[in-house]
Every structure is written in C-alpha cells, then in structure tokens.
Amino acid sequence: MSELMEITIGDLLTKQAQQYPDHEAVVSPYLGIRYTYREFDELTDTIARGFMGMGIKKDDKVSIWASNYPEWIITQFATAKMGAVMVTVNTNYKQFELEYLLKQSDTTTLIMMQGVKDNNYVDHINGLCPELKECEPGKLDASKLPFLKNVIFLDKEDQPGMFAWDALFEFAEKVTPEELAQRKSELDIHDVINMQYTSGTTGFPKGVMLTHYNLVNNGMAIGDCMKFTHDDILCINVPLFHCFGCVLGVMASYTHAATMVLIDHFNPVKVMNAIQMEKCTAVHGVPTMFISMLDHPDFDKYDFSTLRTGIMAGSPCPIEFMKRAMSDMNMSEITITYGQTESSPAITMTTTTDPIEVRVATVGKKIPGVEAKIIDPETGEDAPYNTQGEIVARGYNIMKGYYKMPEATAQAIDKDGWLHTGDLGTMDDGGYFKITGRLKDMIIRGGENIYPREIEEFLYTNPKVRDVQVIGVPDKRYGEEVLACVILKDDETATEEEMIDFVRDGLSRFKSPRYIRFVDSFPMTASGKIQKYKMREWAIEELDLKDAEKIETA
C-alpha cells in the first residue's frame, strides 16, 4: 500500500466491476446466491436508487438488524453509493438495547430479519412501536422513535406496517440512473458513511462515525497484509455488524476484488463445509471459532488444502491454537490484526511473511499510514522499548468521533489526535507490538500489578486446559484476588488445587489464582469478545464476595 486511496466506497466498487466484471464478488452457498462484480455493482446501484425513491436522504441513518444475509452487504454498498449512513445493529440486541440505538442514532429506516434463535426481532420492534401494526408502510409515527419512518423486512412473510425488501426495486423506478450519478458526484471521501456501536462491555454503547476514507484505506491495508488478490476466496462467518465482518472481511476483500463467501452465522460444520465446497483460501474468526473447529470430532473429514491465510483476532489469541490453525488447517500465512472500532479497526497487523514466532507471539507492526506507540499512562510520555504502557494511535483510520457525544470523543482522542485505546502493550525495537492486557483489566493484589493475559497464556500450556479467562475479584485483605475460569478439554478432569499449584509452580507466587472455577463457556458479545465484567458479576455472587466488594468500592 504505497499511498492512501482517495475514492468513495461506491466508486471503487464500480472500478472493480469494470476490471473484473465476471469474477465472483459475493457467494451465499447455503442460499444458492452468486453475484459477479458486475452484477453486484448493478444490484447495489438499483438498491441505492430504491433508497432514494423511498425518500431516504444523504446523511440519513439506515440501521440494519440482521445476521450475515446477502442483503446486509448490499445495504452496506447501496447506502454508501447514495450517501446515507448505515448503522450496524448487534444481532443479540433486545428491545431495550434496540430502543437506545435507534433513538441515539436518529435512525429513519430500519432493515430487519425475523430474529435469531429465541430472540424475536418482530416482537421487539412491535413492543417498541405499537403504532407499526396500524400504519401504512413508510408512514410510521412512533411516539418513542420520532425519527423512524420506514421498516423493511428481509424474510418472506408479510409484516404489518413494514415494506418487503423487494419493494426497493419498485422504488428504484422513481429514480433515474442519472439522478443516482448526480448524488454520487456530491459525495466526499470524508463523509461519514458507517456508524458502528461499540460492543458495550462497559457503559452504554457509543456510535463510532467512520468515513469512506477510513474504511477503504483500512480495508486495503488489511488485504495487503494477507497478500490478497482477486484469486482469493474469503469465508466470512464473523458477524457483519462488527468491524471484523464488515471491514476485515468485506472491505479487505472488495478492495482486492476477492470473492466473499457469506455464512449466515457461525456453525463449525457449516464453515468447514463451505471452506471445502467453495475452495476458500482464507477464513477469519475469533479464537473460540477456531477452537470449536479444531476440536470438532469431524474435523479430519474436511479438506483444508486450499486455505492459506486469514485473521485470528477479536480477543487474545492462544499461541497453541494459532500453531494448530497453521499446521492442521493449512493456514501457513495466518495473521493477527489488532485495533478497535474507533480505528476502523486495524492499528497493527502481522503479515504473511513475518516469521512464525512473530505471528504467534505479537500483533505485528503498525499498518501503513498509521502512527502507533506506547506511552506511560500516568505521564503520557513515550515508553522505552519492551516497557509496558498504553497503546495510542493516530492517522487516516481514526474515527470522526462518537455520534452526538463530544465529551466522550474528547476523552478518547486527545488534542494532538492520538486515540487512547485503553489497551496495555509493549513494542520492541523491531516495531512489533504485543498486547498485555486492558488498563481496566489489570488486577492490583496487595500493591502488586497482575496482568490476566500472562496467567491465561501460562494456563494454556496445561494439557488439560481448553480455554481460560482470568479476572480480578474483590478481596477484603488484598483489595483484589485472582480468579481463573477454566474450560477443560473433553474427557479431562482436574481439581482446583491442581490448577492453583500449576500456576504457582510456573509463575511468581503472587500471580497464582486464589480461586479456580471450572465452567462450560464464557459470556460473550455477539462479535466474540469476552465480557469480563459479566464474569466478575457472576463471580461475586458465586464466591459470596459482596462484603469485600463494598470495601473495595467504598
């Protein structure tokens, strides 16, 4: 990536369609849908005209609440082409969370599916807007959501008050291709085109405002690090509503004219079958996704010979499983990306040519066009090499800010333009970064700083341990104590004392957990991030530490 691209998302798609017209752009294997770049460019033009015909204006907010449907990506490009702002909605949201997002974002149009598992989206929107069932489509007047006018339903059955997706093709007839071309010409690369809400591991989610410039260039840099070309085929099973799906997946692919294979939601068998069936060269996932494939009883039945690369990210990557993905899944060029939604998201990334030991032990170097460094969180001064501090970044990839939250924006981005990530890390003299924890995750036990990541990595070396998360819990004597929540491998058994002794024998004594709990799973956001605050809430109840918590917070 020699220089930054100054082009809108829509114009770049059209350029790719002209260069690779018959090359497959989007494939949904389980729905039997296949679009070439020419077809996808034409289809997104039509839907963009449909949005305009429906009355959606430039800068209007269009929220999409769905799993990895083809319509999700179609919306992503169609809104970008006609200047609306696509707002991504977490598929786990329920009525209270949906109300907050739609209200805070000033959403005028909601595109939605029926629901996921036992989470019925139709019930939630009708509970939030009882007026919907009584209104004509497009004429919603909801007391709780005064901005919301249109609801578009993606699934087959008709819903009162909602447009069917196919209605957009009729609305497109009201707008000429010339009118769309005029709209495109009025767009600026620095227009906000996407709002993604931070996953809300702490506090209320904030709407991160991202531009054409942010997303095109970050996608290009990510694809470059994986050596993507138009011959690559990426399996996208991570959620599209998250940066992992819609940037590390979609944007990294389309900037290189690669093929995107959509899986509606993660299922290890469906993903492994799609990799084999579509001859995918890359697959992305959070560590738990790779773990569930590698440990699946039918893993050996699938052919991974076409795989080459992909990204393992979203939460700390266990070194053991990185190595197994490289050897057992043929992902010899697997990479790690580090970043945040606020940075579009990539800040650093390993490359396919980095030595194996670098790719399993670091999150790479800063990507081209981005500045990143380690600072002392107390003084703000640059930290020496190999010294832990806070990771900060600035460059083309940094968000325009949080929507309607100027104070929160000022807290995140300082006066010199540096985004303060809240992540702890080190940088060596070769420019490689390591993540060592979160500022807020740090455990202070009797004045000793303890970083959960170090204990987690050590516990991963125990042959009985499949997965582990370490958190701090309140303690009357020391302020905080260490709790390790351990998932054992199938057919393995262990005692709490055994695990405590294992850590005590291998690490400094003060780092050994006071508590061990064996669990079946961890609470997660839909994008695969571990919600340690929920684990802490559970642990306080489980360990009966309410009295200690009162002392700690007094």
506-540 pLDDT per residue, tens: 887 788 999 999 999 999 877 777 888 889 889 99
Could you say which of 1.10.150.120, 3.40.50.1820, 3.30.300.30, 3.40.50.150 is the CATH number of the domain covering 452-553? 3.30.300.30
The pLDDT score that the predictor gives to residue 199 is 56
Place of tokens 């000022």: 410
Could you say which of 3.40.367.20, 3.40.50.980, 3.30.300.130, 3.30.360.10 is the CATH number of the domain covering 37-197? 3.40.50.980
The encoded tokens of residue 48 equal: 């963009």
Cα torsion 381, 440, 210, 89 to 10°: value is 180
The pLDDT score that the predictor gives to residue 383 is 97
Distant-in-sequence, close-in-space partners of 366: CB < 8 Å, separation ≥ 6: 347, 348, 372, 393, 431, 433
> Which residue intervals of the chain bear CATH 3.30.300.30?
452-553
Tell me the pLDDT tens digit for each residue of 333-351: 999 999 999 999 999 999 9
The pLDDT score that the predictor gives to residue 551 is 39
Task: Give SS3 for 476.
Answer: coil
Q: Could you tell me the pLDDT band of residue 444, with boundaries at 50, 70 and 90?
A: confident
Q: Could you tell me the pLDDT band of residue 437, with boundaries at 50, 70 and 90?
A: confident
The pLDDT score that the predictor gives to residue 552 is 38
- Average pLDDT, stretch 253-274? 97
* pLDDT exceeds 80 at position 504: yes
- Average pLDDT, stretch 243-254? 97
> Which residue intervals of the chain bear CATH 3.40.50.980?
37-197
The pLDDT score that the predictor gives to residue 509 is 79
Q: Kindly tell me the burial class for residue 10, based on how many C-beta atoms sit within 10 Å of its own C-beta (0-12, 13-18, 19 or more).
A: buried
- Average pLDDT, stretch 18-36? 98
The pLDDT score that the predictor gives to residue 203 is 55
Where is average pLDDT lowest: 268-282, 390-404, 435-449, 463-477? 435-449
Distances in Å between the Cα of 194 and the Cα atoms of 81, 97, 339, 348 are 12, 19, 17, 22
Percentage of the residues of the chain whose pLDDT score is greater than 90: 81
- Report which of 172, 183, 242, 181 is spatially closest to residue 210, judged by C-alpha positions: 242
> Which residue intervals of the chain bear CATH 3.40.50.12780?
212-438
Mean pLDDT of the chain: 93
CATH classification code of 212-438:
3.40.50.12780
The pLDDT score that the predictor gives to residue 499 is 97
The pLDDT score that the predictor gives to residue 550 is 46
Q: Could you tell me the pLDDT band of residue 200, with boundaries at 50, 70 and 90?
A: very low
pTM: 0.86
Distances in Å between the Cα of 209 and the Cα atoms of 47, 119, 196, 406, 512 are 23, 28, 7, 12, 42
The pLDDT score that the predictor gives to residue 443 is 86
